[in-house]
Amino acid sequence: MNDMVVTPWEVGGIIDYNKLMKEFGIQPFSDLLRNWNVDIEPMHLMRRGIIFGHRDYERILEAMRGKNWAVMSGFMPSGLPHLGHKMTMDEIIWHQKAGGFAHIALADMEAHVVRGLSWDKLRDIGELYLKSLIALGLDENRAFMYFQSSNSHVKDLAFELSAEVNWSELKAIYGFTSETPLAKMFVTSVQAADILHPQLKNFGGPKPVVVPVGADQDPHLRLTRDLAARISIFAFEGIDRGVRVRSRKGSKYLRMLEKELCFEYRSYAEHIDIFGERKDIEEFVRNFEVDIGGFAFISPSSTYHKFITGLTGGKMSSSKPESYISLFEDPNIASKKVKKAITGGRGSAEEQRKLGGEPEKCSVFELFSIHLIEDDKELEELRKKCINGEQLCGNCKKLACQLIEEFLKEFQEKVNSIELRKI
């Protein structure tokens, strides 16, 4: 299959990331790296182009300079966590260490609808995801971890958000048909509530939130960004020397706001022009909205990582055991999978020494890039040796086997020592 298919529930064909960015309106992350303006070093997935795109990540970089912000993502616990999931886990942990409070959702409602798994099974699998995050370095004291089905804040917000979206919109975004179960349609509102709940008053109110995801999850982000605006009372528009504020819920809210303003302003029937620093004005108006019972959501930011290649080619998938390495895999079995993995090597050793390998087509080199080699210089040296024909696939696989076995043994020992708090 060559036709590209990218949805939250299906990924197939040859993935063209430039085409995805154009179709979805995603910005290239490389632009941010050229103008990186915070003291925190970009994580290796950013430096190596694995994280290829973003929406409004500038807002997160600004928040990293001492403001209150959060990182939020989730996992559908339909199978054991594998290296594809670890990529997102690493991104969450990096953002937490950069100063963000972490929110992690276990999408058991989605998994129950889409995969048909029992609630007890989903909880058992979900707890392995949470233990995995902690074993990889997540600080439990600066994280809120939950199952969708047991989080009343998320479910209540999902109900309110569902009033802002109709069938035609869901059909356009997700391709739903008349055969799509209502529950599957409703979990799109639950996903949006997952993304927006860190901004609820119970969690400190409006703040920048970044959501690290694969490109297949972008429909959820597009819908959520629209819903964040629709459900909030006030909208902002930049003007000369200030901000134009409109109300989506009627002019009475403009009159209420007008009485509380401590800025220079001009009042009109359908908007108020407020003069001063835009950041100060927006913060004031958002706080006012929360005080009168509104949401005042800030549109969520997001980062997008490439799909990790399966060891047998294509996307690494829980439905294809031979394509992935589970974090709970027996290290010896994992090593055997690596030995059988597709590489970017030539037809023979002689040909590879002459023409060199192709690391950009190699699933083993991808393991080095994403998971196994942190040092950029070490990775680049390995890449050059491959291209020059100095490093044959057998030697690369031998190194990868050693590193993956060491990682899994250490990781699984950590997991076994973790006792989860009640969630």
Task: Evaluate whether 343 touches 397 at the Cβ level (below 8 Å).
Answer: yes
Mean pLDDT of the chain: 92
Answer yes or no: do 195 and 253 share one domain. no
In a domain, 184, yes or no: yes
| Amino acid 4: pLDDT | 52
Task: Evaluate whether 336 touches 329 at the Cβ level (below 8 Å).
Answer: no
CA distance 11 to 304: 15
| Amino acid 319: pLDDT | 62
| Amino acid 7: pLDDT | 58
DSSP 251-269: THHHHHHHHH--SEEEE-S
In a domain, 311, yes or no: no
In a domain, 315, yes or no: no
Answer yes or no: do 67 and 145 share one domain. yes
Per residue in 238-269, pLDDT tens?
A: 999 999 999 999 999 999 999 999 999 999 99
Q: Percent of the chain having pLDDT more than 90?
A: 78
Per residue in 303-314, pLDDT tens?
A: 999 988 888 776
Task: Evaluate whether 374 touches 367 at the Cβ level (below 8 Å).
Answer: no
Answer yes or no: do 94 and 182 share one domain. yes
What residue numbers bound the domain in which 287 lies?
234-291
Answer yes or no: do 210 and 241 share one domain. no
Answer yes or no: do 350 and 363 share one domain. yes
In a domain, 316, yes or no: no
| Amino acid 2: pLDDT | 53
Answer yes or no: do 240 and 211 share one domain. no
Taking residue 403's Cβ as centre, other Cβ atoms within 10 Å add up to 16
Answer yes or no: do 179 and 105 share one domain. yes
Per residue in 372-411, pLDDT tens?
A: 999 999 999 999 999 988 888 888 999 999 999 999 999 9
337/355: higher pLDDT: 337
| Amino acid 12: pLDDT | 54
Q: What is the DSSP letter of 315?
A: B
Answer yes or no: do 144 and 267 share one domain. no
Task: Evaluate whether 212 touches 89 at the Cβ level (below 8 Å).
Answer: no
CA distance 283 to 207: 10
Answer yes or no: do 203 and 331 share one domain. no
Q: pTM of whole model > 0.85?
A: yes
Separation in Å, CA 421 to CA 72, 134, 135, 418:
19, 11, 14, 9
Task: Evaluate whether 91 touches 73 at the Cβ level (below 8 Å).
Answer: yes
| Amino acid 307: pLDDT | 83
312 HSE (CA, 13 A, CB side): 11
Answer yes or no: do 219 and 239 share one domain. no
Joined tokens for residue 140: 């439990």
| Amino acid 217: pLDDT | 86
Residue 315's pLDDT band (boundaries 50, 70, 90)?
low
**What CATH code is carried by the domain that includes residue 406?**
1.10.240.10
DSSP 165-213: --HHHHHHHH---TTS-HHHHHHHHHHHHHHHGGGSGGGTSS--EEEEE
Answer yes or no: do 198 and 105 share one domain. yes
- Average confidence (pLDDT) over 284-309: 95
Domain limit, last residue, from 305, 338, 355:
305
Q: Is the pLDDT of residue 102 over 80?
A: yes
In a domain, 310, yes or no: no
In a domain, 13, yes or no: yes
User: In this structure, what are the phi and psi dihedrals at residue 302, rounded to the nearest 5 degrees?
Assistant: -155, 155
Per residue in 9-68, pLDDT tens?
A: 555 556 678 888 888 889 999 999 999 989 999 999 999 999 999 999 999 999 999 999
Q: Is the pLDDT of residue 1 over 50?
A: no
Domain limit, last residue, from 273, 305, 337:
305
Domains in the chain: how many in total?
A: 3
Separation in Å, CA 250 to CA 236, 247, 271:
15, 6, 10
What is the distance, to the nearest Å, from the Cα of residue 110 to the centroid of all Cα atoms in its chain?
16
In a domain, 158, yes or no: yes
Q: 111 in helix, strand or coil?
A: helix
Joined tokens for residue 172: 């356009």
**What CATH code is carried by the domain that includes residue 112?**
3.40.50.620
Question: Which ranges in 218-374 belong to alpha helices (H)?
Answer: 218-231, 252-260, 278-291, 331-339, 349-355, 363-367
Domain limit, last residue, from 280, 305, 330:
305
Task: Evaluate whether 128 touches 80 at the Cβ level (below 8 Å).
Answer: yes
Answer yes or no: do 80 and 216 share one domain. yes
In a domain, 312, yes or no: no
- Average confidence (pLDDT) over 62-79: 95
Task: Evaluate whether 344 touches 386 at the Cβ level (below 8 Å).
Answer: yes
- Average confidence (pLDDT) over 206-210: 98
Kindly state the helix (H) or strand (E) to which residue 128 belongs, with its residue range: helix 119-136
